[in-house]
C-alpha cells in the first residue's frame, strides 16, 4: 500500500489537508487505545518489573516504527524499508511474544502490538505481498508463543497460539482500514482530475475538428472561386469581379463561423448545409440533385448529417474531378441515412486513405450510435452516414 502522488487545485487542497490531518489523528488515537488496553491488562496481573520493562521497551519500538511509516505514508510516497530494519522489527516482535508468555500475565493481548509491525512491513517493505505476509507473520508469532509455553511448561498451548494467530491480523486489519480511506480518497481525486483532463482533451479535439470543417471548407471554396476569377479576368471582367466579391463574402462568412464556434452558437443543420452546398456546387459547374426531407430529422441528427454533407462537398472540390453530385436522405425505422455520391473518384494518399476530416466524422457518428463509410466503387465515390433519427 504505497502512498500515491496527486495533483490538486487550490479549491481542493484544503479539503485534502483536512482529511490528511483526520487520518493522522486516527493513527494516534489507535496507538493510544492499544497502549491503554495493554496497560490495563498488565495492571490487572501481579506486577513484574522485568516483564514490564521488556514489554514496555518493545511497545515503544512498535509505536515509533508505526508512527514513522504510517504517518509518512499519509504525507506522501515513502521509501522502501531496509532489510536490517525489517529483520530487527521481526526479532523485537518475537522477543515481545516470548517475554509475554515466559512470565505470568496476559500474554495473548500482546499479539495486538505485533500486528502494528505486520502493518509496517506490509506498507514499507513488502507492499505486494498482501495478506500472505500478514498471516505468515501471525503464524511466526503464534509459533514463538507455542515454543515459549512448551519450554516454560505452560498449559493450553494450542489455544494460546490460536489466539495470537487471530489477534495479530485483527490489529493489522484495523490499521489497513485507517489508511485505506486516505488511499481511496487519493484514487478518487486522481480519477476526477483524469476525467477533467480527458474532457479538456476531447473539447480541444472537437474544436480542432470544427475549425477543420469551417476553414477547410471556406478555403477550398475561396481557392476555387479565386482561380475562376483569375481565368475570367480578361474574357469576362464583370463576372470576375462578381467572383472576387463572392470570395470576400465567403472569407467574412468564415470569420463569422469561427467566432460563432468559439461562442458556441454555430449550427450545421442539414437544411442550412444543403442550401450552401447547392450554391457552391452550381458555381463550380457541378450538377446537383437532392432527395429527402430534412425537416423530419431531430436537431442532433440534423447537426451530424449537416457536418457529413459539408465535409463530403469539401472533399469533392478538393480531391475529385466530378461533374455530378447526388445527395439522398432516407428515413426509415427510426434511422436516418445520408448518401453523398459523386462521379469523380477522389485520389487519396496511401498513408491517409480517409483524411482527418472523414476520420473525425467517423468518430462522431460512431459515438452517436451510427455508422459511417467513405469509399469508392463503380467509378464513383460515396460517403454514407447512418444515425438515429
| CATH number of the CATH domain containing 349 | 3.30.565.10
Pick the last residue of a domain from 167, 197, 227: 197
pTM: 0.49
Pick the last residue of a domain from 136, 168, 197: 197
Residue 240 lies in a domain: no
Q: What are phi and psi of 237, to 5 degrees?
A: -60, -35
Residue 100 lies in a domain: yes
Radius of gyration in angstroms for the set of CA atoms belonging to the chain, rounded to a whole number: 38
Residue 158 sits in the same domain as residue 296: no
Range of the domain at 57: 10-197
Residue 267 lies in a domain: no
pLDDT at 10: 41
pLDDT of the chain, 389 residues: tens digit per residue: 444 444 444 445 666 777 777 777 778 888 888 888 887 777 766 667 888 888 889 889 988 888 888 888 887 788 888 999 999 999 999 999 888 888 776 788 888 889 899 988 988 888 888 888 999 999 999 999 899 888 888 778 888 889 889 988 988 888 888 788 777 877 777 777 777 677 667 666 766 766 766 666 677 777 777 877 787 777 888 878 877 887 777 777 777 666 666 555 556 788 888 887 887 787 777 888 899 888 888 888 888 898 888 888 878 877 777 888 899 999 888 899 999 998 876 544 444 445 567 777 888 888 888 999 888 877 788 899 999 88
Residue 63 lies in a domain: yes
User: Under a CB-based contact definition with an 8 Å cutoff, are residues 269 and 305 in contact?
Assistant: no
Residue 15 lies in a domain: yes
Residue 364 lies in a domain: yes
State the total domains in the chain: 2
Residue 37 sits in the same domain as residue 176: yes
Pick the last residue of a domain from 138, 163, 197: 197
Give CA–CA dist 344/318, Å, rounded: 11
Cell numbers describing residue 66: 508505526
Handedness of CA 145, 149, 155, 158 (dihedral sign): positive
Residue 249 lies in a domain: no
Residue 235 lies in a domain: no
Residue 162 sits in the same domain as residue 15: yes
Residue 65 sits in the same domain as residue 191: yes
Residue 79 sits in the same domain as residue 191: yes
Give CA–CA dist 362/359, Å, rounded: 5
Amino acid at each position: 500500500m504505497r502512498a500515491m502522488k496527486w495533483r490538486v487545485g487550490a479549491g481542493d487542497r484544503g479539503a485534502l489537508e483536512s482529511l490528511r490531518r483526520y487520518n493522522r489523528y486516527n493513527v494516534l488515537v489507535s496507538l493510544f487505545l492499544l497502549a491503554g488496553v495493554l496497560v490495563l491488562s498488565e495492571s490487572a496481573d501481579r506486577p513484574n518489573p522485568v516483564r514490564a520493562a521488556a514489554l514496555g521497551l518493545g511497545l515503544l519500538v512498535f509505536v515509533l516504527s508505526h508512527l514513522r511509516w504510517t504517518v509518512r505514508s499519509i504525507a506522501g510516497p515513502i521509501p522502501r524499508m531496509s532489510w536490517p530494519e525489517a529483520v530487527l522489527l521481526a526479532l523485537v516482535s518475537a522477543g515481545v511474544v516470548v517475554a509475554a508468555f515466559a512470565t505470568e500475565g496476559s500474554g495473548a493481548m500482546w499479539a495486538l502490538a505485533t500486528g502494528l509491525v505486520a502493518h509496517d512491513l506490509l506498507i514499507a517493505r513488502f507492499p505486494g505481498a498482501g495478506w500472505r505476509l500478514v498471516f505468515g507473520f501471525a503464524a511466526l508469532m503464534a509459533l514463538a508463543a507455542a515454543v515459549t509455553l512448551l519450554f516454560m511448561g505452560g498449559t493450553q498451548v494450542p489455544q494460546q497460539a490460536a489466539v495470537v494467530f487471530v489477534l495479530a491480523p485483527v490489529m493489522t486489519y484495523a490499521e489497513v482500514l485507517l489508511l485505506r480511506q486516505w488511499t481511496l480518497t487519493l484514487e478518487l481525486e486522481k480519477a476526477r482530475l483524469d476525467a477533467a483532463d480527458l474532457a479538456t482533451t476531447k473539447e480541444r479535439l472537437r474544436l480542432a475538428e470544427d475549425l477543420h470543417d469551417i476553414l477547410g471548407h471556406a478555403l477550398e471554396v475561396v481557392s476555387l472561386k479565386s482561380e475562376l476569377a483569375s481565368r475570367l479576368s480578361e474574357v469576362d471582367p464583370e463576372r470576375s469581379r462578381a467572383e472576387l466579391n463572392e470570395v470576400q463574402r465567403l472569407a467574412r462568412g468564415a470569420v463569422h463561423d469561427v467566432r460563432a464556434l468559439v461562442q458556441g452558437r454555430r449550427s450545421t443543420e442539414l437544411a442550412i448545409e444543403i442550401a450552401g452546398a447547392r450554391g457552391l456546387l452550381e458555381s463550380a459547374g457541378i450538377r446537383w440533385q437532392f432527395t429527402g426531407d430534412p425537416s423530419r430529422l431531430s436537431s442532433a441528427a440534423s447537426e451530424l448529417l449537416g457536418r457529413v454533407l459539408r465535409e463530403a462537398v469539401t472533399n469533392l472540390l478538393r480531391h475529385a474531378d466530378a461533374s455530378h453530385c447526388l445527395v439522398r436522405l432516407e428515413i426509415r425505422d427510426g434511422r436516418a441515412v445520408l448518401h453523398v455520391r459523386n462521379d469523380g473518384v477522389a485520389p487519396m494518399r496511401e498513408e491517409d486513405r480517409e483524411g482527418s476530416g472523414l476520420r473525425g466524422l467517423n468518430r462522431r457518428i460512431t459515438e452517436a450510435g451510427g455508422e459511417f463509410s467513405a469509399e469508392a466503387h463503380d467509378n464513383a465515390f460515396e460517403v454514407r452516414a447512418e444515425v438515429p433519427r
